[in-house]
Amino acid sequence: MNIKEFIDNFADQFDDTDRAVFTSETKFKQLDEWSSLTALSIIAMVDDEYDVIIKGNDIINSETIQDLFEVVKNLSDNA
Amino acid sequence: MSQLTINNVRIAGMSACVPATVEDNLMLPIYKDQNEALKVIASTGIERHHKVEPGTTASDLTVKAVEGLLVKMNWEPQDIDCFAYVCTSRDYIAPQTACVLQDRLHLRSDCCVFDLPFGCSGWVYGMSIVGSMMSHGTFKRAILVAAETNTLNRNQRDTTVRPLFGDAATATALEFDPEHSRPMHFMYGVDGSGFEAVWAPYGGMRNPVTHEALEEKEVSPGVFRRGIDMVVNGMDVFGFAIKQPPRSLKELIETFNIDVNTVDLLLLHQANKFIDEKIRKAIKIPPEKTPYCLEEYGNVTSASIPLTMVTRCSQQLTGEEQHCVACGFGVGLAWASMEFYAGHVMIQDIITY
C-alpha cells in the first residue's frame, strides 16, 4: 500500500474540506470538518480498502495521516 | 464453531410496547445547530426514539406487552410453562426481575422463569435458550421477553448515546409444535477482550458504587457521565460491528447451506443504518428484504429485532411462512446469528405505555 493512495482514500471521507489540505503531515483531528462520524467513515474505508479493522485508540493516538497510515500498514502486513 | 439446531418449536405470536414520550433528534438541545443534528440523522438513520418517564421501568413496559400478547393469543397466564426475561436494565440488583414478573403477570408458581442479561444479542440468544428447553416437549408454551430502558442506564447529557438509544419491551410467544415447525439454526460468537467497548464500569462487585461513581463528570467536551452510566465507545463498537456480524452470518449461511436467494427477511439488530447497511451488503441481501425500525425507535438493544418484526413485518409474518435470517450483536462483545421460518404468527399491534 502506498501513502498517496491512502491520502486520497482518507480525503474522500470529507465533504467540505478542500482536497489540497490533505498531505501526509495533515493533523486531521484539527480539521474543522472532523467529527466522530468522520472517524467512523475512516474505519469503514480502512476495512473496505485494506481489509483490516482499526481501533478507536489507533485514531486517538494518531496525529497525522502518516501516523494512521503506519498503523494500517502494520496491521495489513501482519494480517 | 458452536452451532445449534432446534426442532419442534415455532414462533406463535409477538407483541411490543413503547413509552408514549417521543424524543426527536432534530429538537435535542445537544447540537450546536440543526445542521449537526441532520448529519447525525443522515448517517445513523435514527430520527427519534421513545423514552420512559421517570419511575417507569422495562418491567412496566413488559407487563403491557405480555398482557397484550396473551389477549391476542387467547392464552391464559396459567398456560405459560416458561418465561424468560432478556434485559440488562433490571428493576433491582436482586432478585431477578423475572421472579417479580411471575407475580405481576399471574404466571403459575411452578413456571420456569429466569433473567437473561444479554443486551443486543439477547433476542437471538434467548430464542436458542428457550427454544432448546421447549424442544424436549414438556414445556408447551413459553414467553421470551426482550426489554430495555436504555435511556435510564445511559446519561442523558452524554451526546454520544442520547440520539441513538430508545426504550421498548417485546414479547415473543413460543409453542411446542412438531407438526408446524421447521428447524431453527444458530451460530454464536464472543470477544470478551473487547468488553470495555460497551460497559457500565461501576455498580457491580468489581467496582462497587461509591460517592465518586455517582458524580457526573465531563469526560470529553459535551459528554457527561457518572461511573454507573453505560459507556459506548463508538469507534470500537463500529469496528466490531462491521467485522463480526457479516462473518457470523456468512458462517451461518455456509454451515447450514442457506440459499440467500430464498431468504425473505434479514432481521438485523438495529444498531444504526450505517452499520446495518454494511452488514446487509456484505451478505448480499437486497434492501427490500431488510426492514428497519430504527428511524422511529432508535437502537432498543435486545428488543430491536422483535420490535422490527412487530412494527415492520407484521403483514408478512401473519401470512405464509417467511424464511428469516437474524443477527444480534453488541455488548459483551457478543453476537449470535440464526435462521428460522415464521408464518401465521399472531401479532398484536404496537402498544403504548
What per-residue confidence (pLDDT) applies to B36? Answer: 85
User: At B55, is the pLDDT very low, low, confident or very high (cuts 50, 70, 90)?
Assistant: very high
A56 to chain B, closest Cα gap in Å: 5
Rg (CA), chain B: 19
* C-alpha to C-alpha distances, B348 to B75, B194, B242, B338, nearest whole angstrom: 13, 37, 33, 23
User: CB distance A54–B236 less than 8 Å?
Assistant: no
The residue to which cell 433473567 is assigned: B115
A59 to chain B, closest Cα gap in Å: 9
Smallest Cβ distance to A56: which of B235, B243, B278?
A: B235
Cα separation, B70 vs B84, whole angstroms: 15
The strand pairing partners of B347, in sequence order, are: B14
What per-residue confidence (pLDDT) applies to B261? Answer: 96
User: CB distance B160–A56 less than 8 Å?
Assistant: no
What per-residue confidence (pLDDT) applies to B58? Answer: 98
B159 at interface of A, judged by CB pairs closer than 8 A: no
What per-residue confidence (pLDDT) applies to B232? Answer: 94
User: CB distance A40–B39 less than 8 Å?
Assistant: no
Answer yes or no: are the C-beta atoms of B127 and B188 closer than 8 Å.
Answer: no
User: CB distance A44–B242 less than 8 Å?
Assistant: yes
User: CB distance B40–A37 less than 8 Å?
Assistant: yes
Query: Across chain B, where does the E strand assignment appear?
Result: 3-6, 9-18, 22-24, 48-50, 82-86, 112-116, 141-149, 167-176, 184-190, 198-199, 217-220, 223-225, 231-232, 265-268, 322-330, 334-342, 346-347, 351-352
User: In degrees, to the nearest 5, what angle opens at C-alpha B10 toward C-alphas B7 and B12?
Assistant: 165
Cα separation, B44 vs B28, whole angstroms: 15
- Residue B141: phi and psi, rounded to 5, are -135, 135
- Per CB-CB distance under 8 Å, the chain B contacts of A75 are none
Instruction: Average the pLDDT over B137-145 and give the result.
Output: 98
Residues 6 or more apart whose Cβ sits within 8 Å of residue B332 = B118, B119, B121, B190, B191, B192, B194, B195, B198
CA-nearest of B226, B246, B212 to B329 is: B246
Instruction: Average the pLDDT over B321-326 and give the result.
Output: 98
What per-residue confidence (pLDDT) applies to B34? Answer: 87
Cα separation, B62 vs B172, whole angstroms: 11
Per-residue pLDDT tens over the stretch B220-230:
888 999 999 99
Instruction: Average the pLDDT over B267-288 and give the result.
Output: 95
Indicate whether this complex's ipTM tops 0.85: no
The strand pairing partners of B188, in sequence order, are: B336
Answer yes or no: are the C-beta atoms of B102 and B93 closer than 8 Å.
Answer: no
Cα separation, B136 vs B141, whole angstroms: 12
The residue to which cell 415492520 is assigned: B312
Instruction: Average the pLDDT over B285-312 and give the result.
Output: 98
CA-nearest of B70, B63, B60, B18 to B348 is: B70
Question: Model's pTM, two decimal places?
Answer: 0.93
Answer yes or no: are the C-beta atoms of B62 and B147 closer than 8 Å.
Answer: yes
CATH superfamily, domain at B1-353: Thiolase/Chalcone synthase (3.40.47.10)
- Per CB-CB distance under 8 Å, the chain A contacts of B238 are 40, 43-44
Grid cell, residue B171, equals: 414479547
Residues 26-85 of B with CB under 8 A from A: 39-40, 43
CATH superfamily, domain at A3-78: ACP-like (1.10.1200.10)
- Per CB-CB distance under 8 Å, the chain A contacts of B233 are 56
Give the mean pLDDT of chain B: 96
User: At B269, is the pLDDT very low, low, confident or very high (cuts 50, 70, 90)?
Assistant: very high
> Which residue out of B220, B233, B238 would a mutagenesis test of the A interface target, given it has the greatest number of A Cβ atoms within 10 Å?
B238
Q: How many residue contacts between A and B have a Cβ separation below 8 Å? A: 39
Q: Hey, what amino acid is at B6? A: I
> Which residue out of A15, A28, A36, A48 would a mutagenesis test of the B interface target, given it has the greatest number of B Cβ atoms within 10 Å?
A36
